[in-house]
Amino acid sequence: MPTFLHTADLHLDTTFSAHFTAEQAKIRRNEMLRCVSNLIDLAKNYDILLIAGDVFDSSYVSEETVSFLKRKFAELEHTYVFISAGNHDPYTSNSVYANTDFGDNVHIFGTEPECVELAELKTRVYGCSFSDTYSDIAKRFNKIDKTEGITDIILMHADVVSNMEDGGYNSIDRRYIEGCGADYLALGHIHTRSEIKKCGNTYFAYPGLPEGRGFDECGDMGCYIGEINDGAVKAEFKKLCIRRLFKVDVDISGLSDNIQIFDKVKQEILSYGCENDMYKINVIGKISSEIFNIDILKNDIKDVVYYAEVTDNTQQDYDIDAIAVQNTLCGEFVRMMQDKIKDCDDEERLVAENALMIGLDALLGGEV
């Protein structure tokens, strides 16, 4: 009955150049190392650590990161480590994988399918690394011949698709999973965690990333921990991330001043996370431009949370009925659009109402 920790897509040495200053990026890279340090400390409690690709964000890996991993893997005195390289960090003759001794307990799969037997655990671990950015390694795996009393695990960086069209990133489908013969297919590549699923007799899952990096990687991040007993997989998610990322829409319609707007935004974002987290705040609603000042909000919110991006997608709060009775070009435009809106279905009405607001912005000197 082997126990395991399943992780993937660590993406160490991510540059973080899109959002952060050089100093902020350095801090975030160090936080990712701290997250992985915590992950490896947790792995001390399990028989096997499974890392399903993209340990590194690119082929460039800093000496600090290599030294860190060697030191942490050496602490796993009773844990086997298996790595299948992914599309971001393929196994090549010049790669870190080919030129670094990570320790006797660490096995990095080559570019052809292979099997490692762990006799004392009655377990076989199969794997294969990407040799380039694109790969079809799944097609080179033979179906596992099951042996009674033996647990079979496949470690693979792959993209589960609806059918086996060649997506370039080692596409597999549910038929492939059902026919592979493994008890557990430990996957990497998709950054969003999946539930533990089952096709035929094979369980499979994506653990997601241990630490989110951008606002397409939101919420709790971590790994799966569990055990395999007589072919049945029991696993649970373990949160590990140092910081979480959230995208939050905040409607400020009807608010009367910038203090009230700040209080509303603060309340909304902290209902998702805490002060240590990172937020992409989309301010929406109808409000007068004389009331809302986005620069004031940006300045105030930076003292509340670790990091925040704020975008203004509000609309000017025009008194449509008052403009409609005016004997002006704006008044004529509003009356024409109101007549059009009356004859629209629901989908067309949204487009027409948006066109009305854009037209008023243009006529009254707002931004389009």
Split into its structural domains, the chain has a count of 3
Q: Are residues 91 and 211 in the same domain?
A: yes
How far is 127 from 84, CA to CA, in rounded Å? Answer: 6
How far is 328 from 218, CA to CA, in rounded Å? Answer: 48
Q: Which residues contact 283 (CB under 8 A, 6 or more apart)?
A: 250, 252, 261, 265, 292, 294, 297, 310, 311, 312, 313, 314
Q: Which of 270, 296, 312 is the last residue of a domain?
A: 312
Q: Are residues 80 and 166 in the same domain?
A: yes
Domain of 358? 320-363
Q: Are residues 30 and 152 in the same domain?
A: yes
Q: Is residue 331 part of a domain?
A: yes
Q: Which of 191, 217, 239 is the last residue of a domain?
A: 239
Q: Are residues 17 and 114 in the same domain?
A: yes
- What is the CATH number for 10? 3.60.21.10
How far is 129 from 88, CA to CA, in rounded Å? Answer: 11
SS3 assignment, position 234: strand
Q: Is residue 215 part of a domain?
A: yes
How far is 209 from 244, CA to CA, in rounded Å? Answer: 11
Q: Is residue 339 part of a domain?
A: yes
Q: Which residues contact 183 (CB under 8 A, 6 or more apart)?
A: 151, 152, 153, 201, 202, 203, 228, 231, 233
Whole-prediction pTM value? Answer: 0.88
Q: Is residue 368 part of a domain?
A: no
Q: Are residues 102 and 130 in the same domain?
A: yes
Q: Are residues 268 and 333 in the same domain?
A: no
- Longest C-alpha distance within the chain, in Å? 89
SS3 assignment, position 338: helix
Query: Phi first, then psi: what are they for 81, rounded to 5°?
Result: -115, 130
Q: Are residues 161 and 299 in the same domain?
A: no
Q: Is residue 283 part of a domain?
A: yes
Q: Are residues 357 and 295 in the same domain?
A: no
- Look at residue 366 in the predicted model and tell me its pLDDT: 55
SS3 assignment, position 325: coil
Nearest-CA neighbor of 154 among 89, 105, 109, 208? 109
How far is 184 from 215, CA to CA, in rounded Å? Answer: 30
Taking 3-state DSSP, the helix, strand and coil percentages for the chain, each rounded to the nearest 5, stand at 30, 25, 45
Query: What single-letter DSSP state applies at residue 119?
Result: G
Q: Are residues 68 and 157 in the same domain?
A: yes
Other residues' Cβ atoms within 10 Å of the Cβ of residue 313: 9
Which tokens hold the place of 235? 């696993």
Query: Do the Cβ atoms of 213 and 244 come closer than 8 Å?
Result: no
Q: Are residues 187 and 267 in the same domain?
A: no
Q: Are residues 249 and 331 in the same domain?
A: no
Q: Are residues 233 and 249 in the same domain?
A: no
Sort 321 into a burial class: Cβ within 10 Å, 0-12 / 13-18 / 19+.
exposed
For the chain, what is the mean pLDDT?
93
Residues of the chain with pLDDT under 70: 163-167, 365-368
SS3 assignment, position 45: coil
- Gyration radius of the chain's alpha carbons: 27
Residue spans of beta strands (DSSP E) within the chain? 3-7, 48-51, 80-83, 106-108, 114-118, 123-127, 151-157, 159-160, 171-172, 184-188, 197-199, 202-205, 222-229, 232-239, 245-251, 278-284, 307-312
